[in-house]
Every structure is written in C-alpha cells, then in structure tokens.
Amino acid sequence: TCHKRPGTPGVGKTTLGKELASRSGLKYINVGDLAREGQLYNGYDEEYDCPILDEDRVVDELENQMREGGAIVDYHGCDFFPERWFHIVFVLRTDNSILYKRLETRGYGEKKLKDNIQCEIFQVLYEEAIASYKEEIVHQLTSNKPEELEDNINQILKWIEQWIKDHNT
C-alpha cells in the first residue's frame, strides 16, 4: 500500500508523514530530502531561489522502493508520479492566515509567500491530484490545529488497516 500526501508547503505534510510511518510501520519517503541527497536537480530557479527538481530522475530513483509497496511519499506536488504507485492520495489543506504565518516563520520571501497562498486559495494541488489520479482515491484533510493532526493520523491509520484486511484475503 502506498500513500501520497501532496499539499502546499507549511500544511503539515512532513509532521503527518513521519508520525504515520512511526505508528504504521510503513516506510517514509520525503522527496525533497531524496532530491537533496541525490542532487536530483536540473537547474536553479532564480525567481524562487530554489533548485529545480528533475522529476524523471526522482521517479527512476523511487521506482524500486515503490514497487515493494508500503511507502508514505511526502511532496508538495504529485502530477509526475506514476498513477500505479498509489492506492490513496491525501491532500492537506490549511487556512490561509495560519499558512501565511507558518511560511513567514520559515523565512519565505514575499513572492514565494504570495504564490503559495494563492496556490492554496485556488486549490491548485487538489485539482492537480484529481487530474492525476482516480478521483475516488483523492481525499482532502484539514491541517490547521494540532488536534486535527491527531484526527488525520487516526483516519489514515484506519484506512491502512482496512486496506490490509481487504487485500490479504
């Protein structure tokens, strides 16, 4: 079973992913870390002051791990991952005022802040997810408060449990 968790930066993907992995025994893969460690880039974006991900190399790098299954994949986009990799996709959403504060705390510049908030307002990543995967496997989860993190973890753990039951008969 593999899960994908796209969402705007600052919505809590990494916190959720790591906690889920530790409670479920699934493998946690942070695509940003993987790219950094393997230098899986094909240039630099001056405007956003960040490296440009080489999506093909990321897919090549992950292919074997994903074939084995049992992975939680953490990244803020999802349109370049093969559909066959995921049984369910969770898109985290955060209220814009909360998100703004989280990104500001991370030191995001004005343009990066504005673009990420707009991305959240227009549900860009949710739209991308339903365009990339079967709509019935894409779910939105609210991620504003610590209590919601716990609710989301419990909801996903229940889903994993059910998936395992359904597929081990």
Digits of tens for pLDDT over the chain (169 positions)? 556 566 667 778 999 999 999 999 999 999 999 999 999 999 998 888 889 999 999 999 999 999 999 999 999 888 999 999 999 999 999 999 998 899 889 898 888 888 888 888 779 889 999 999 999 999 999 999 989 999 999 999 999 999 999 998 6
> Structure tokens of 148?
């919601």
Q: How far apart are CA 72 and CA 39, in angstroms?
A: 21
Closest Cα partner for 140 from 157, 159, 154, 127? 127
Q: Is 54 helix (H, G, I), strand (E, B) or coil?
A: coil
The annotation status of 14 as a binding-site residue, yes or no, is yes
The annotation status of 43 as a binding-site residue, yes or no, is no
Q: Global pTM?
A: 0.87
The annotation status of 10 as a binding-site residue, yes or no, is yes
The annotation status of 8 as a binding-site residue, yes or no, is no
Contact 129, 6 (CB under 8 A): yes
Q: How far apart are CA 48 and CA 145, in angstroms?
A: 28
Q: What percent of the chain has pLDDT over 90?
A: 69
Query: What does the pLDDT read at residue 3?
Result: 62
Q: Which residues touch 66 (CB under 8 Å, ≥6 apart)?
A: 2, 73, 82, 85
Tens of pLDDT, residue by residue over 116-163, are 888 887 798 899 999 999 999 999 999 999 899 999 999 999 999 999
The annotation status of 12 as a binding-site residue, yes or no, is yes
